[in-house]
Structures are given as C-alpha cells and as structure tokens.
Structure 1
Amino acid sequence: MANISDSPNPLLPLTDPPGLVNPSLATPRPAVASARIDGYDFARALAVIGMVLVNFNSIFRLSQEDALPYSRLADALCGRAAVLFVMLAGVGLTLLARRPLLAGTAEAMALFRRQILKRCLVLFVMGNIFRLFWHGDILHFYALFLGLGVFCLQLPNKWLWLGVVGIWLTATTIFVACQGGPTLPDGMLLPDFVVTFCDDLLLGGYYAAFPWFAFLLMGVWFGRPEVMNRPASHGRIFLVCLVIFVIAEQLLAWGDARFFMADETEMPLAVFFFNDPFPASPLFALSGGAGAMMVLIGSMYLSRLAICNGLVQNLKYIGKLSLTIYVGHVLLGLALVAPLQQRLAPGDYSAVVTCLTLALLLGQGQFARFWCNRFERGPLEWLFRKLSGTG
C-alpha cells in the first residue's frame, strides 16, 4: 500500500522537500508516531466531512427559509471546520520541519523555507484562480498563513502564544471599532485593487489573517514533540479548551438574547457578542479555536484506541486526499446546482440534494481508500507538487 504522510497544509500530502532527507534520520516510524499520524489524518477527514456539509449547504440552499435537512448541522459547523483545517496546517508544518530542525543548521532551515515558500506561491496562484469560481476559497489564505508560519517554527512556545493572544486582541479591537465589518482605513495611497486585495487577506476576507493566522500558530505549537508526543498533557489541554469553549458559547448565547434588538447606543457592546465566522467575531474565534483543539486532541486519543482502529483506518484516507476532495466537491456542486433547480420541484430538489450529499460523503471514503492503495498521491496533490517542483 502506498504511503502518504502528513502535511503542512491539511489539503496537501506531506513529504520532505528534496535535499532535506538525512539518511541518519530516516529511521523506521515507531508505532507511537504511526498512531500520531493516523490521528492527524483522522482529524483531517473530520474537517473534510464538515467542509463538504458546509459548502454543499451554501451551494444548494435556495434561501435562509428553504433549509435543507442537514442545514442546521451545516450552520453549526460553518467556519469551525475551516478553523480545524488551519490549525492542522500549523501541526503539519511543524511535522514537516522535523528534519531541518533536528539538523540544527541555518542552511537546512533556509532550504526548507525556500521549498515551503515555493509551494505557497503555487498554492496562492491556484487559490486565486479557484476563487474565480468559488468566492469562499481558502487556498490562497492557506498560502499566506504557511508562508508566514514557516518563519515562526523556531520561536519559543511563549512567543507563539503571545502571537496568538496579540492577533486575537488586535482582531477584536478592529472588529469592534468597525462594528463587525473590519476593513483597512480609507485614504491609503495605493491603487484600489491593491487595497481591496490586502483587505481581503488581512481583515475583511472569509479567512482573514486577523484572527485566522492565530489558529495556525496554535497548530505549530501543538505539533511540537514536547506537546504532541505527550498524551498525558493532552487531557489538561482539553480541559482548558473545554472551559474556554463553554464560556465563549455561553457569552454568545447571552449576547444573542440580550442584544437581539440592539439600538445604535448599544451597538459598540453588542458587536463583541456577534456570532459570525466570516469575518470571525471575537467570541467565535475563541469558541472555534478551543473547539478545534478539542477535536484534534480527541482524534489523537481515538487513534490510540484499538476499538476505534477500524473507524480511524477507514476515514484517514479522506484526509490524505483533502485537496482533491476540496476542489472536486465544490466544482461538482457548482456544476449541478443550476440544472437541479431548473428541473426539480422544491420538494424533490431537497430530497435529491440530500441524497447527493450523503452519496458524496460515503463515496469519497471509498474513492480515497481505492486511490491511496494504488497511488502515492491524489490527482491534485500530484499536480500541485509538479507545479511547485517539490515532488
């Protein structure tokens, strides 16, 4: 069976860039590392499943009133699957850097950064092409986050967490000051298209760097051996995240009831309690980040349980073909939505779309398993590496 290992981008398979493999470090993977990688791929699979539900709900849902049978679940997952993806990108980036970091030389890290930045450039171009068809593209944001994250790999843990807190505080300040519509200030001496592009990447886009880059830094921290390879500490991390998640969710529920009909005088305070993933509101960022970390830790735990081995082994293949599934399911949905709306009655439309979604969720697992047993990389994963010249 072909092996596809972890990834610095949860949409891409991870292998070491050419020139970084030290034969002395190429030892067989121990069982604990294998379980760790299986847990990582299992978490990617859960994120893919959530992504398919959210995106199909966005593509096929006729209106807010005409909900699909799974719309409530998709609405609950909206933005949260993406948080998990970004966090997994940070974990994968740290895993990929294990050899250059062990080498301990400036030359090894410089070579590693060049290889990752080449991948980021190709991913950035691919994402901007894809967003011509899909306004909610995340690939070009991943490229930005990974390009920045590669320079954070050697930072001490405390600096990573200072970065997480600083990004969240900055994003919160801007979000509240702009009353829920963060944007760059007017009057900048730059062409309009440059301002619009930078605003999309930094503040106002679906996955703008403030605060989404904080999730990648959290993943970089979790991927470090002293954290990821110490299951005994995972329980404490899980409990801390659970407390943060519960508090954030309670504040969101209270704010929704308290400021449901907020007037202009209450708006500065009400904005803080918005529950918006795009752009991410302060409490959503807290809840989403804590929830994603809990899912990641839970995936690692399940991967070590013999009783869950069958589930983990079957779903992990979905995570290995994340890029192919991500692009493929969006293009499939966009190609089918208009013909289905034109030819089906409303009642039939909802039933057909639900069956289509279930078929895709079930079929993608079988397809991924079939493909991974025969090929080293997925179709788009292979194309990506050829274009970037790194595989």
Structure 2
Amino acid sequence: MSDPVTADQTQPAINADETGGAVSAPVGVADRIESLDFIRGIAVMGILVANIVAFGQPFSAYMYPEAFLTEHGEVSEWLAVAQYVLIDTKMRGLFTLLFGAGLYLFMERAWARGQTRWLQVWRLAVLLLFGAIHFYLIWIGDILMYYALIGFAVVPMLRLSAKTQMGIGLTGYLAGAIFFGAAMTVPYLVAETDLGENTAFAEAATSMETAKTMAFANDRIETQLIQSGDWVGLVSHRVVQNGLDPIGNVLFFGFETLPFMLIGIALYRTGFFSGAIERSTLLKWGWIGVSVGGAMSLAIGVWLKSEGFSYYGTLAAFMGWSPIPQFFMVLGIAALLVAYSPGWTGWLADRVRAAGRAAFTNYLGTSLVMIFVFQGWGLGLFGELNRPQLYGVTFLTCALMLTWSKPWLDRFRYGPLEWLWRCLTYRKMFPLKR
C-alpha cells in the first residue's frame, strides 16, 4: 500500500518479456520499507480508536459527550481526555503523512518504468470511487474521498524539490493553524462566554444555537434510521442531508491535509522512513515532539473537562486549538515508530506489520464490521454501549485485524482490496495467490 491505508511499497517490479509487454513480479521482502508497514499497522488500529464513538453513538458524540445516548460519567470523561491527548487528530495526521509518502513512493517506481503522473491521477480517481462508496453506502466518516481530491492537488507538486515541498508544507500548515484557531475560537467566544451577551453579537449567538439544534436533530433522524435497520432510508437521508459534505471537508481540512501530505513526501525523500537519519536523533526529537505536543493537548483536554465539554468548546478544542500540538505529536510519534520499529520483532510485531500491509482492507473492512455490530439489521448495539464498552469493541476488532492479516498475506500477495485497487489502477489482472 502506498497510502496510509494502502501499502504501495509492494509495487510489483515490471520485467520486459519477449513480446515487449510487461510481466508483474512481486517486490521481495528485502525491498520493502518495513517502518512504513509498522506505522500503518499502528495507524489503522489507532484510527479505529478515534472513530469508535462515531460508529456506536450519534456522530456529534465524536467530540461532544452530551450527545451520548448512554451515561457519560466521570470515568468516561477522563477517557475522553486521554483519547483527545493520545489519539484524536494524531492518527488522522499520521495517516495523512503516510499517504503523502506513499504518493511519492508510487511515482518513484512508476517513473522508473517510464510512466507518468497520469497513472497517479487515475489511481486517485479509483480511490475516489472507493471513498464515495464508503461515504454514501457504508459510513459517513470516510476519509478516502477528500484524500483523493486533495491528492489531485498534490500531484503537480511531486516534481518539486524536497526542500520546496517541506517549505510549502510547513508554511501551509502554519497558515492552516492560524485559520483554524480564528475560525473556531470566535464561535466559542460568542456562543459560550459573556461576549455573546453583547447586542452586537446577539444575532450570531442565535444563529450558532440554531446550528447546534439542527445538528442534534439530524443525529436523532440518523439514530432512528440506524436502530430500525432501515439501510435504504439511511442512505437516502445521507445523500440529501450530507451529500455535499466531502466538498466542505476538502475546503476545510485541506489546510491540514495538503501540508501534511507534502511534509510526508519530503520526509520520505530525505530518508526519514528508511534509516537515513540516526536513531539517536529520531529518539531525541521524537520524544521532544511527543512531550511538547502531549503537554499542550493535556492542558486543552483538562480545560475542556473543567468546562463540562461544552458544545462550541469541544469544537474549538478539536478543530481550532489542536493543529499545533497535533503537529508536534504526529512528527514525534512517526520518529519514535521509525526508531523503534527495527527492534520490535516477534509474533505481535509481525502481525502489526501485516495489518499495515493490508491497511486498505482493514480500514474499509472495519467499517463493514462496525455497521454489522451497531446497525439495527445487525447486532443492533447503536446507542447501547458506553465509552469503556466501545473501547472493548475496538480491542476485539483490532485483535481481528491482527488475526487475519498475517495468515492471509502468507498465502496471498496482497490484501483483498489492495489487489482490487492494483488491478483497477493498471486495468489488468494481477495474480493474487502466491
């Protein structure tokens, strides 16, 4: 897979045959970048921890505990703080970093075969199709659609120097952090502080209260549809009510996603993922990043709890104030995983890497498992489990990922969806079985 959810460092080598065509041969284990597999494995499980609340409770509950349909007491509140510090926005950032590295890794091998960036454009178009199916038919929390759409904007920048890519990425990320901070702090101040009592802001405060009410009303409709098992009704509602959400996601999260993709490309090209940087340096800066970012996130999380997880307070914390601590944490976690990955061996580490090699299948497969667990036509547990119980479901699902991925890849060249994406990208059938 080349993306955070797709391991394209397994890109097949192409050998000319006697007819002038091309024969696919799998890249050997020695040619893989093992740290990418390991980080993907961690990330694909971490993203489930981030998303589990939105799978099992109304979507607003992802950030706002009051939206839970079950009790959200003191233990759950501290768990929410821990998730905010360690997981929320961090796994998404890690995914995005890897996606960027994967875009360049794919093109490196495509260029070596004389192919052009149009192959990458087509590949992203296929990913966009996967994402659309995921968003409209399976789960509204899809990330693939706007990864693909923002990926189109990254493709023209693949030929820039690594220094330029890093410069654009850092500048764009800082601009995004300022934008997010301003865009989300003002609503909080107007809606939930004394500022909103000023007559100059009365209309804005009323408008924000209306937006909050509408979000909860939409949650109630979706909850009824999910619990009743009315999949057709749920899809119809999603198309009508949320059909244009991916466009909004691209415009809003582009300030984070595009810079992180470019930074991921630049890091890959400088050898960050392949051992070109001294381990001691990775450890030093990795722990600094995690410590600084973690301390900042903890301060925000504790403040959020002290405020009672207010609606616009949580929006500000998750979307307005998280970019800077997220940046330190994402790069710090990535550095530590690269540094420690070579020394992490044994059956568990092998299974984590296998889960990373099949991360595309694990990402989309997780959504299928979750809708079976929670929707009314399945086990019907939507809105029934509290936060600790949802983490129990997460643990079992991660165990499932670790259980199936390695035996499958011992027998087959790619994960099922990795193979399908590859075939659609090249518009030819590749052998699946080893």
Question: Structure 1 residues 367-376 or 52-61, which shifts more?
Answer: 52-61
* Corresponding residue to 2:171 among 161, 166, 182: 166
* Corresponding residue to 1:90 among 78, 82, 100: 100
* 1:126 lines up with 2:126 in the alignment: no
Q: Which residue of 1 aligns with 2:263?
A: 218
* Corresponding residue to 2:72 among 63, 66, 70: 66
In the alignment, the residues of structure 1 paired with residue 72 and residue 93 of structure 2 have an alpha-carbon distance, to the nearest angstrom, of 27
Q: Which residue of 2 aligns with 1:360?
A: 397
Q: Which residue of 2 aligns with 1:187?
A: none
* 1:337 lines up with 2:374 in the alignment: yes
* 1:316 lines up with 2:353 in the alignment: yes
Q: Deviations over 1:299-320 (max 9, x none)?
A: 3333322x63443222111111
* Corresponding residue to 1:294 among 328, 332, 356: 332
Higher helix share: 2
Deviation at 1:148, TM superposition (A): 2.7
Aligned CA distance change for structure 1 residues 363 and 256 (closer, same or farther; 3 Å): closer
In the alignment, the residues of structure 2 paired with residue 382 and residue 27 of structure 1 have an alpha-carbon distance, to the nearest angstrom, of 12
* Corresponding residue to 1:48 among 44, 47, 50: 44
Aligned-residue CA RMSD (Å): 4.1
Please, what TM-score do these two structures have when normalized by structure 1? 0.73
In the alignment, the residues of structure 2 paired with residue 384 and residue 134 of structure 1 have an alpha-carbon distance, to the nearest angstrom, of 20
* Corresponding residue to 2:250 among 191, 201, 217: 201
Query: Secondary structure of 1:376's partner?
Result: coil
Q: Which residue of 1 aligns with 2:227?
A: none
Residue pair 2:146, 2:246 contacting (<8 A) in 1 also: no
In the alignment, the residues of structure 2 paired with residue 155 and residue 47 of structure 1 have an alpha-carbon distance, to the nearest angstrom, of 28
Aligned CA distance change for structure 1 residues 390 and 217 (closer, same or farther; 3 Å): farther
Q: Deviations over 1:223-260 (max 9, x none)?
A: 11544444444543553454454444444555667797
Residue pair 1:89, 1:219 contacting (<8 A) in 2 also: yes
In the alignment, the residues of structure 1 paired with residue 12 and residue 186 of structure 2 have an alpha-carbon distance, to the nearest angstrom, of 40
Aligned CA distance change for structure 1 residues 322 and 255 (closer, same or farther; 3 Å): closer
| Structure 2 letter corresponding to 1:365 | L
In the alignment, the residues of structure 1 paired with residue 53 and residue 244 of structure 2 have an alpha-carbon distance, to the nearest angstrom, of 31
Query: Secondary structure of 1:52's partner?
Result: helix
Residue pair 1:238, 1:297 contacting (<8 A) in 2 also: yes
Q: Which residue of 1 aligns with 2:2?
A: 8
Residue pair 1:38, 1:312 contacting (<8 A) in 2 also: no
In the alignment, the residues of structure 2 paired with residue 52 and residue 92 of structure 1 have an alpha-carbon distance, to the nearest angstrom, of 21
Alignment of 1:346-385 (within 5 A): 355-385=392-422
Question: Structure 1 residues 149-158 or 367-376, which shifts more?
Answer: 149-158
In the alignment, the residues of structure 2 paired with residue 180 and residue 27 of structure 1 have an alpha-carbon distance, to the nearest angstrom, of 50
In the alignment, the residues of structure 2 paired with residue 338 and residue 386 of structure 1 have an alpha-carbon distance, to the nearest angstrom, of 32
User: Where does structure 2 lack aligned partners over 5 or more consecutive residues?
Assistant: 66-70, 188-241, 429-434
In the alignment, the residues of structure 1 paired with residue 184 and residue 383 of structure 2 have an alpha-carbon distance, to the nearest angstrom, of 41
In the alignment, the residues of structure 2 paired with residue 27 and residue 341 of structure 1 have an alpha-carbon distance, to the nearest angstrom, of 40
Query: Secondary structure of 1:123's partner?
Result: helix
| Structure 2 letter corresponding to 1:11 | V
* Corresponding residue to 1:153 among 158, 172, 181: 158
| Structure 2 letter corresponding to 1:116 | Q
Deviation at 1:137, TM superposition (A): 0.6
Please, what TM-score do these two structures have when normalized by structure 2? 0.67
Q: Which residue of 1 aligns with 2:363?
A: 326
In the alignment, the residues of structure 1 paired with residue 384 and residue 26 of structure 2 have an alpha-carbon distance, to the nearest angstrom, of 58
Q: Which residue of 1 aligns with 2:89?
A: 79
User: Where does structure 1 lack aligned partners over 5 or more consecutive residues?
Assistant: 1-6, 183-192, 262-266
Residue pair 1:244, 1:286 contacting (<8 A) in 2 also: no
Q: Aligned residue pairs: how many? A: 348
